[in-house]
Amino acid sequence: MWAFNQGDWVLGQWKGGEYWYPAVVERHRDTSVTMVYDDGTRETRPENQVKPYNWKLGSKVECNWKGGGKWYSGRITRLNAADLSIAYDDGDKEDTHTGSCRSR
């Protein structure tokens, strides 16, 4: 398993679901990791549901279009810390934040 340290940027499976969301490690104790997701929520997950942050230019993600609650797939075209630009599969583009996106 990974050795997660406080402050590491990671991807966690919210509630053990199918999606990975960006987060920062708050604490790694025994076999669980407490994270604060980029949208501000906090959760503790088993360490097998946490992995190092691996988004980069061209990564396929789904983002919450304009914060309206509908998720659309696209690719990252610009990445600067938590700010990113998305080129959606339907041709739309958006500047957004990691807290509004997820991956599979």
At residue 89, the pLDDT reads 98
Give the domain CATH number at 13.
Answer: 2.30.30
The reported pTM is 0.93
At residue 1, the pLDDT reads 66
At residue 86, the pLDDT reads 98
Residues 43 and 76 in one domain: no
Percent of the chain having pLDDT more than 70? 99
Q: pLDDT under 50 in the chain at which residues? A: none
Contacts of 13 (CB under 8 A, 6+ apart): 19, 20, 21, 45, 49, 50
At residue 76, the pLDDT reads 98
At residue 2, the pLDDT reads 78
Residues 42 and 13 in one domain: yes
Domain count, the chain: 2
Range of the structural domain that residue 85 is part of: 60-102
* Distance, CA of 9 to CA of 63 (rounded, Å): 18
At residue 3, the pLDDT reads 86
